[in-house]
Structure 1
Amino acid sequence: MLTTKEKPMDRADDPDLAEKMKAEAEGIFLWAFEGLQRLVANNFKLRRVTVSRKTGKRSSVTTTISLISWSRRDTSD
């Protein structure tokens, strides 16, 4: 599950964001592919790193991703 923060009232959305992302599509793909390679190399375990606001110390939690296999339903008669 992904969560997001509430949109700040003073934030202005970028109407050109889609075009900017299209211009960076190759870099975005490579970034995602590198992340996938790290995930596969780590047996699909994610680390969530948090930093304490009080102490500045880092801690991490490792989570294993469960991948769901989807099979295509045969729709031919």
Structure 2
Amino acid sequence: MKLPIYLDYASTTPVDPRVVAKMQECLSLEGNYGNPASRSHEFGWKAEGKLLKKPGQMLLLWLIAITER
């Protein structure tokens, strides 16, 4: 099936399936859905630990996020 051309990337963008798979780990009760900046509870500690395992990749995501603002 041929997909239509999508030109509204300022609104939203398609997400790579690999990113979706990793993000699903952080979006459920079984995953690391806590706020990594919250250091007063276990949910935050686990989320921060997940980020610290991949610092180079997280830097890339952070840079992408700040350019979107």
Task: Return the structure number with greater strand share.
Answer: 1
Q: Which has the higher contact order (CA 8 A, sep 6+)?
A: 1
Please tell me the TM-score bracket, short chain as reference. Answer: under 0.3
Task: Return the structure number with greater helix share.
Answer: 2
Give me the TM-score of the superposition, normalised by structure 1: 0.25
Give me the TM-score of the superposition, normalised by structure 2: 0.27
